[in-house]
Structure 1
Amino acid sequence: MPKSPFEIPPSDSFLNAPLRATIDLQALADNWRFMSRQSGKARAGAVVKADAYGLGIEDAGQTLYNAGARDFFVAVPPEGETLRIYAPDARIFVLSGLWEGMEDIFFDNDLVPVIASEEQLAFWMRTVAEHGDHPCAMHVDTGFNRLGLSMEDALYLASDVSRPASFSPVLLLSHLACADDPASPMNQKQLEAFRTIRAAFEGIEASLSASAGTFLDSDYHFDLTRPGISLYGAEAVNGVANPMKPVVKAEARIIQVRNAKAGETVSYGAACTLNRDSRLAIASVGYADGYLRNLSGHGVALRNTGLSGASGFIAGHKVPVVGRVTMDMTIFDVTDVPEKAVSAGDYIEVFGPNMPIDDVARNAGTIGYEMLTSLGLRYERHYLEAE
């Protein structure tokens, strides 16, 4: 029988770390398989940029490769160079494209540049003229106004009889601006534009949808989808129950539990005045660890969510943040937790299965993407292996 991922023993350094992140690679693999089914007739790729959204491109990349992913997307060439070790025969697309001086890393690691501008296109044509054929992809802007050739330039290129035969993209792609809002008319507008581009480049595979777009109807799937945030357990679509499995549990060790009197103040700026005698747990997590200052319970003018700040989870209870989150420490009110259930040295969950990352992010006025990719270097990581 395969070993359950929960049977992998954590290291002593993990068990005693001030901050720790448990990463369930089985859940990651299951989420990719879910998105593969959601993609219908299209293949599902895997976006692993930003160190696999903070989880570690080495472990995440190998897990996704073993699950069946064969098309990967990274942001910059060094990410692709690292990933190549763990995805030996996959296609690895570099979304930022290629610039002079970086040719070797693409050719040596068989990376596919995503050509995203006229400047990159001109340089790539010179490069393949010198080095010989090499696959590339082409990004066309259909309304996002970020990266991509304009519609006009792309259509001109498609009909340009002087285009070198060596310039032969293996993939056309664009990116949806409003896919997280299924009712947005922008989705249909971009879909129609992308269909025009695809028709002009007949016979080349096409990819329009990242995670959110994959949850739109099958018209948006084309040949290849690019799930990212959904793989890591966070929400892709606004206002819809999240079907993905949580992948990360982030915990902070409690340094001290202290008693404070009604009328006393808590943390910087004395922004919180206690209205009852309280027990406060000081945990070793702060904004240096990606636990954003806007998660503070009090005294942060930048947050304009109408929410009261974040909570943690310990001993079966949600406990609110009080006062301001500081660089290395956050204070939680554990008054309503049985006294013997919380002690110095215990761990409090700051996000994870009991504190969904998107709920925590909303309390900061942000999104789960930022919470994940902001995980600091001080987290000791423990990976629950996939079967």
Structure 2
Amino acid sequence: MTDFEAPLRLHLDRDALVANWRALDACSGAARAGAAVKANAYGLGAREVVTRLRDAGCRDFFVAHWREAEAIADLLPPHSISVLNGIAPSDIAAARALGATPVLNTPEQLSHWRNAGGGRCHVMFDSGINRLGLAPQHLADGVLDGMDVDLLMSHLASADTDVAQNRAQLHAFIQAVSTVTAQRFSLCNSAGIMLGDDYHFDLTRPGISLYGGIARAGMEKWIKPVVRISARLLQVRDLPAGAMVGYNATYACPEETRVGTISIGYADGYMRAFSSKGRAWTDGLALPVIGRVSMDLVTLNLNASPDLREGDWVDIEYDLVAAAALTELSQYELLTNLGSRFERSWS
């Protein structure tokens, strides 16, 4: 590796991450809280997140792909890692060598696992999201007969809102629990934890709220932000009133304007939806984004802080709830799109 300084920094708060997991664990009542660390721990860095949550007491980690499991396998006992997207016949030999547990979603996956010798597995039941999982008829047909099911799980579709679907999914899952022999049962994501004890069962699987996302209103009182972004000014210039800024000249300076260009763009996950809407900050002073966000660059109005110079750093406003409302991007997109060009530092 070289010693080049990245012009873009992702500051990650270890204490906030751990505090969020502990709060979600406490809200899970008699259930234990695991952790969804798929998609590189929602963009923060799976190895770093897993290490910190493991040391805090988390014992169940969920990824989507087998390569994600492989990337953290040296940090955990194999049985602590679950692979949500199931298994294909071509995966089985490597999966058995790795030792992580497949989440089997279809009768075909169950058959592949059984024919390869079976053993400990998790099973996804579709309680109404209509995405992945066994249907009630599959259970009635006995597809799980003889299977060593450790965890029967399902997934809530609308736990972030108070809708009848939540209770309907709960009832469907309770029916499945009554017919399936498994060691443990799991239904809740981050938002589902807040629906109450009826939804908790043995294990909850928080994701977005571990990383500072507010899955349901009210959680902002105790979920702490984990991510802070800063970027370096690459150039500062003074433009006259009427000067156009950025692609397609979508912004015209209404007055003489000091403009700064920073090293961030949609290739880093700072999406075009922030164009002429986002803000940066320095010493409590707001620096509005002007013009279009481009692949690697964003322009700011520096009039509020005219002494800023090339090489100075500014903080990017990235409150997840506010940014989601501003851009109509989800909190999940705002995190998982954060790119590899950030210098990530934990404190």
TM-score, normalized by length of structure 1? Answer: 0.85
C-alpha distance in structure 2 between counterparts of 1:149 and 1:236, whole Å: 26
Is 1:279 the counterpart of 2:250? The answer is no
Q: 1:170 aligns with which of 147, 150, 155?
A: 150
Size of the aligned set, in residue pairs, is 347
Q: Give 4+ residue runs of structure 1 displaced > 4 Å after superposition.
A: none
Structure 1 equivalent of residue 292 of structure 2: 324
Give the aligned residue type for 1:377.
S
SS at match of 1:170: strand
C-alpha distance in structure 2 between counterparts of 1:220 and 1:248, whole Å: 29
Structure 1 equivalent of residue 313 of structure 2: 347
Q: 1:26 aligns with which of 15, 40, 54?
A: 15
Structure 2 equivalent of residue 66 of structure 1: 55
- The 1:65/1:89 distance shift into structure 2, 3 A limit, reads farther
Structure 2 equivalent of residue 304 of structure 1: none
Give the aligned residue type for 2:263.
S
Q: Deviations over 1:10-52 (max 9, x none)?
A: xx958x4211111122221111111110111001101100111
Is 1:252 the counterpart of 2:252? The answer is no
C-alpha distance in structure 1 between counterparts of 2:84 and 2:260, whole Å: 43
Task: Map 1:229-268; keep pairs closer than 5 Å.
Answer: 229-238=208-217, 241=220, 243-268=222-247
- The 1:288/1:317 distance shift into structure 2, 3 A limit, reads same
Structure 1 residue runs without a partner (length 5+): 1-11, 298-308
Equivalent residues of 2:104, 2:123 under 8 A apart: yes
Displacement of 1:203 after TM fit?
A: 5.0
Displacement of 1:238 after TM fit?
A: 4.8
SS at match of 1:97: coil
Structure 1 equivalent of residue 270 of structure 2: 291
Equivalent residues of 1:311, 1:360 under 8 A apart: no
Structure 1 equivalent of residue 106 of structure 2: 117
Displacement of 1:111 after TM fit?
A: 0.9
Structure 2 residue runs without a partner (length 5+): none
Structure 1 equivalent of residue 125 of structure 2: 140
- The 1:90/1:317 distance shift into structure 2, 3 A limit, reads farther
Structure 1 equivalent of residue 278 of structure 2: 310
Structure 2 equivalent of residue 363 of structure 1: 326
C-alpha distance in structure 1 between counterparts of 2:291 and 2:3, whole Å: 30
Equivalent residues of 1:235, 1:242 under 8 A apart: no
Structure 2 equivalent of residue 77 of structure 1: 66
Give the aligned residue type for 1:51.
N
C-alpha distance in structure 2 between counterparts of 1:81 and 1:263, whole Å: 55
C-alpha distance in structure 2 between counterparts of 1:349 and 1:362, whole Å: 19
Q: Deviations over 1:328-372 (max 9, x none)?
A: 1001112122x22x2211122224xxx413322332211121121
Displacement of 1:321 after TM fit?
A: 0.9
